[in-house]
Amino acid sequence: MDLVANKMEIQELGFSVIDHVFTDQEVEAILSAIKIADSTKETFRKSENLFAIRRFLKEVPDTADLIFNQKVKAIVQELFGKDYFLVKSIYFDKPETSNWFVPYHQDLTISVDHNAKIPGYGPYTRKNDQFAVQPPLHILEGNFTIRIHLDDTNERNGALKVITNSHRKGIYRPETIDWSIESEVSCKVNRGSLMIMKPLLLHSSSRTSNHKKRRVIHLEFSNQHLPKELHWSEYFNF
Domain count, the chain: 1
- 155-190: per-residue pLDDT in tens? 888 889 999 999 999 999 999 999 999 999 999 999
Choose between 145 and 43: higher pLDDT: 145
CATH (domain of 38):
2.60.120.620
pLDDT of residue 142: 97
| 67 falls within a domain | yes
The answer, as to whether pTM is greater than 0.85, is yes
Average pLDDT over the chain, rounded to an integer: 91
- 25-78: per-residue pLDDT in tens? 999 999 999 988 766 666 566 655 457 889 999 999 999 999 999 999 999 999
Is residue 90 scored above 70 in pLDDT? yes
pLDDT of residue 164: 97
| 232 falls within a domain | no
pLDDT band at 99 (very low <50, low <70, confident <90, very high): low
Q: Which domain holds residue 211?
A: 4-222
pLDDT of residue 52: 86
| 227 falls within a domain | no
Is residue 10 scored above 60 in pLDDT? yes
| 69 falls within a domain | yes
DSSP the chain: ---HHHHHHHHHHSEEEE--SS-HHHHHHHHHHHHTS-TTSTTEEE-SS-EEEESHHHHSGGGHHHHS-HHHHHHHHHHT-TT-EEEEEEEEEE-TT----EEEE----EEESS----TT---EEEETTEEEE---HHHHHH-EEEEEESS-B-TTBT-EEEETTGGGSSS--GGG--TTT--EEE--B-TT-EEEE-TTS-EEEPPB-SS--EEEEEEEEE--PPPTT--BS--B--
| 237 falls within a domain | no
pLDDT of residue 47: 58
pLDDT of residue 96: 64
